[in-house]
């Protein structure tokens, strides 16, 4: 049991690594698209600020994933492994085709699907967290779009008398700050989701593990929050994933949705960072992909409505819609192997 649980924890960290790899586009697409930083410098910058969230973020999102998605009494190592494998598979498929889907909703869909396979629809804890999660599939990109649009209009108004060359130089520097804020917000929200999954695993096996080995109580103590090793492991994994980057998705986010300049990149990143940080503060697991894509659309629309390639944006929206449905297919891992339940 010890080795099996350790292997599942490793798979969770692999998901977190792929999350960073897949979602690096969220943090660096705009700053690479505007040519403020080279791709290598951008991923180092983003990875560093992903990790800084470990020292400032709370635990509300992690608790929402652990307790607010499915009933905790049905959680088993097999169920968690099935959910993780479903999310990892979908992330790799969408990365291969350069589709900016949501790692967050892939994980939630996989986890919920495995729960339904084990205990039917009664496994789902329909309540506040589900309402928030499903609502913010729609709300988060709209909030990002509104924030990006408003910030873009505001900076245009504030810098209308400045020479275009000076504006460009100013926002090339300002984009370093906005990219850092977005990377920090990304790490704070997304790493907590993996933390919630791992703690759910530890809670489910504590009685069995305590009987097998005396050291388990050092790894997880109930009612004392998320263990430090889980936090550091999650933030390290997502930061390392960001360092490796997902260049296929960077191209889609950074140049195909709309043409970005430093001023619009700053507005998009800042709008996305504000939106994600607010959700994290209230313990709502949101998609950073949804939010930053909405911010990019909002910033691009200030030039003119046709500046946004709405056909590409529509394809991204469809990818968002099917992500949770596809990842819920992780339930077949349990259906096909009844003994694994």
Per-residue pLDDT tens digits for 4-13: 888 999 999 9
Burial zone of 249 (CB within 10 Å; 0-12 exposed, 13-18 middle, 19+ buried): buried
More confidently predicted of 132 and 336:
132
How far is it, in rounded angstroms, from Cα 341 to Cα 81? 11
Average pLDDT over residues 15-32: 78
| Token pair 């729960």: residue | 115
In the chain, the percentage of residues whose pLDDT exceeds 90 is: 24
pLDDT at 218 > cutoff 70: no
Copy the structure tokens of residue 63: 């608790």
More confidently predicted of 135 and 83:
83
Predicted TM-score of the model (pTM): 0.84
Instruction: Please tell me the predicted confidence (pLDDT) of residue 214.
Output: 57
Among the ranges given (49-53, 71-75, 325-329), the one the predictor scored with the smallest mean pLDDT: 325-329
Instruction: Please tell me the predicted confidence (pLDDT) of residue 100.
Output: 65
Instruction: Please tell me the predicted confidence (pLDDT) of residue 2.
Output: 79
pLDDT at 76 > cutoff 80: yes
More confidently predicted of 297 and 25:
297
- Residue 127 sits at φ, ψ, to 5 deg, of 180, -155
The answer to whether residues 52 and 108 touch, using CB atoms and an 8 Å cutoff, is no
Task: Give me the helix-helix angle, 2-33 and 77-96, nearest 10°.
Answer: 30
The answer to whether residues 327 and 106 touch, using CB atoms and an 8 Å cutoff, is yes
CA atoms within 13 A on the CB side of 30: 39
CA distances from 201 to 59, 205, 211 (A): 16, 6, 16
SS3 124: strand
Average pLDDT over residues 218-247: 83
How far is it, in rounded angstroms, from Cα 313 to Cα 236? 31
Q: 272-308 burial, b for 16+ CB within 10 Å, e for fewer?
A: bbbbbbebbeebbbbbbbbbbbbbbbbbbbbeeeebb
Q: Nearest 5 degrees, angle CA 238-CA 65-CA 52?
A: 30
Average pLDDT, the chain: 80
pLDDT at 331 > cutoff 50: no
| pLDDT band, very low/low/confident/very high, at 180 (cuts 50, 70, 90) | very high
Residue 121: how many other CB atoms lie within 10 Å: 9
| Token pair 């099996």: residue | 4
More confidently predicted of 301 and 321:
301
Q: What is the pLDDT of residues 116-172, one digit of tens each?
A: 888 888 888 888 888 888 788 778 888 888 998 899 889 888 888 888 888 888 988
Residues 6+ apart with CB under 8 A from 113: 82, 83, 86, 327, 328, 329, 330, 331
More confidently predicted of 250 and 35:
35
């Amino acid at each position: 049991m010890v080795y099996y649980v350790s292997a599942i924890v490793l798979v969770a960290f692999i998901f977190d690594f792929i999350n960073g790899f897949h979602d690096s586009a969220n943090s660096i697409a705009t700053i690479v698209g505007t040519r403020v930083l080279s791709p290598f410098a951008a991923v180092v910058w983003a990875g560093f600020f992903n990790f800084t969230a470990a020292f400032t973020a709370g635990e509300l999102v992690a608790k929402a994933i652990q307790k607010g998605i499915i009933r905790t009494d049905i959680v088993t190592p097999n169920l968690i492994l099935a959910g993780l494998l479903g999310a990892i598979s979908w992330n790799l498929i969408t990365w291969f085709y350069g589709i900016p889907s949501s790692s967050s909703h892939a994980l939630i869909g996989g986890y919920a699907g495995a729960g339904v396979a084990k205990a039917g629809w009664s496994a789902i804890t329909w309540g506040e967290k589900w309402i928030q999660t499903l609502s913010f599939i729609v709300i988060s990109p709209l909030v990002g779009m509104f924030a990006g649009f408003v910030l873009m209009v505001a900076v245009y108004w504030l810098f209308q008398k400045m020479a275009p060359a000076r504006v460009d130089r100013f926002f090339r520097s300002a984009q370093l700050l906005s990219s850092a804020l977005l990377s920090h917000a990304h790490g704070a929200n997304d790493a907590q989701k993996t933390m919630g999954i791992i703690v759910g695993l530890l809670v489910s096996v504590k009685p069995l593990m305590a009987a097998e080995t005396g050291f388990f109580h050092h790894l997880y103590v109930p009612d004392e929050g998320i263990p430090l090793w889980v936090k550091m492991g999650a933030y390290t994994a997502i930061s390392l994933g960001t360092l490796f980057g997902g260049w296929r998705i960077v191209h889609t986010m950074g140049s195909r949705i709309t043409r970005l300049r430093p001023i619009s990149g700053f507005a998009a990143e800042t709008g996305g960072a504000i939106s994600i940080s607010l959700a994290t503060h209230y313990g709502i697991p949101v998609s950073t992909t949804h939010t930053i894509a909405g911010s990019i659309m909002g910033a691009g629309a200030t030039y003119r409505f046709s500046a946004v390639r709405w056909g590409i944006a529509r394809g991204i929206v469809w990818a968002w819609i099917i992500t949770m449905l596809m990842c819920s297919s992780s339930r077949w891992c349990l259906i096909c192997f009844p003994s694994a339940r």
